[in-house]
Structure 1
């Protein structure tokens, strides 16, 4: 059994399905958490789908970076910004009440962000955070737009686990998350020879197998 903690704002359901379908490691237990890495640190999980940067990471951990998150801004549903499209520039937000912003070190206070989004939903100000996270935490009164502003610290999603706890199950999940297909996975069936493939195809079609009778006339065949 592999226990995986995934941070709020990620939606790895397709990876969970593929892992359960393709592997035989006794199943997969998943834990949704604002602090997925913390569950690995305290031993509650074997593997974390975590949001970086995180100052707690040391050389004792393996880290596989998967993707960067888009910067986002939460705006009221009825605001003029919600009508501008999918993206908004930093200069467009000048003068707006800022209820929350990602810390300079890239860390996120999930409690403060949730409270800020409630204020935004009440049609007051904005909040800046990773766009996928805003989408997951927002109510109907809030719209998550992509923020074009390089001054806002970037975040990324990564798989993290202790080096000493490495296992085949973890490696298989990492491979799936990185796009490993069934044919290239560790669970892929052994490759068959051309003859084995031909015989299998004939068997599926219900045909008798034949071979060339080299002892007789040219091209003569006989049933095996």
Structure 2
């Protein structure tokens, strides 16, 4: 390898709450010679990392500025409220934002929900991070409304969560710089979209991964029979069977000699 050649690799960023394990496993199965490096980033810095070339693609939370970034929406998360286990909300299956009107609801600076007006009563100060807000919920300072994946990420034995039926939802997407849609990015897009290794929309797989396809026999083209197999026609005749023979390609009785 010369000094100008660089071994291929793929850098994948992901925001808190996203679990890329499934896609990474498929990548390693399909492209074992191309190492994939995971880069954990906050939701706020994810787009700067992509624009700055710190990652080839990333799992982010919408919205995405489509001016210079491409994005494929993947799924929408349930929004939940995190409460102490002895809180009255823990006794019900779900709540509305109005049900939280009398509670202090923490609104961290890294909040990922697009609130027009957060529910409940505001705290004196906004926590810096979601992790800080969870600690305050455990201390009995207030409640916290977040995407369900973040509630799971910061799970504590003394806390629980319940769905909030009318809260904004968080949508997760795969994003990458528009001017850097490389072959490896296309490969990862194919994996995320669920394309098979032989999909016509993806890149051509390595020869070792390509399956042999049977020749197309459409359009009236007759397939050549394998050697030694009967065709239903006598090899002694043209398109018809032998003279005097029975149907199905069987031979007739031999003619007597004159």
Task: Report the TM-score range of the alignment, normalised by the length of the smaller protein.
Answer: 0.7 to 0.9
- Specify the alignment match of 1:100 in structure 2: 107
Please say if residues 84 and 160 of structure 2, whose CA atoms lie closer than 8 Å, have aligned partners that are also in contact.
Answer: yes
Distance 1:189 1:74, change over 3 A: same
Separation in 1 of the partners of 2:235 and 2:183? 52
1:15-74 Cα offsets, whole Å, 9 max, x none, are 1100111235612111122133232122211111111225xx242211111112222211
Separation in 2 of the partners of 1:81 and 1:74? 9
Separation in 1 of the partners of 2:171 and 2:20? 14
- The range that moved more, 14-23 or 92-101, is 92-101
Unmatched runs of 5 consecutive residues or more in structure 1: 196-208, 220-224
| Structure showing greater relative contact order (alpha-carbon pairs closer than 8 Å, 6 or more residues apart) | 1
* 1:38-117 map, 5 Å: 38-54=48-64, 57-85=65-93, 87-100=94-107, 102=111, 105=114, 111-117=128-134
Which structure would you say has the larger Rg? Answer: 2
3-state secondary structure, aligned to 2:39: strand
Counterpart among 20, 26, 37 of residue 12 in structure 1: 20
3-state secondary structure, aligned to 1:95: coil
Distance 1:94 1:29, change over 3 A: same
- Specify the alignment match of 2:157 in structure 1: 140
Distance 1:136 1:169, change over 3 A: same
Equivalences, count? 200
Distance 1:105 1:123, change over 3 A: closer
Separation in 2 of the partners of 1:173 and 1:103? 25
Unmatched runs of 5 consecutive residues or more in structure 2: 1-8, 116-125, 217-225, 237-241, 243-248, 251-258
- The range that moved more, 39-48 or 173-182, is 173-182
1:182-219 Cα offsets, whole Å, 9 max, x none, are 45354362451079xxxxxxxxxxxxx86326648958
Please say if residues 127 and 133 of structure 2, whose CA atoms lie closer than 8 Å, have aligned partners that are also in contact.
Answer: no
> How large is the RMSD of aligned CA atoms in angstroms?
2.9
Please say if residues 77 and 121 of structure 1, whose CA atoms lie closer than 8 Å, have aligned partners that are also in contact.
Answer: no
Report the Cα offset of residue 155 of structure 1. 2.1
Report the Cα offset of residue 3 of structure 1. 0.4
> With structure 2 as the length reference, what TM-score do the two structures score?
0.67
Separation in 1 of the partners of 2:173 and 2:136? 30
Please say if residues 135 and 144 of structure 1, whose CA atoms lie closer than 8 Å, have aligned partners that are also in contact.
Answer: no
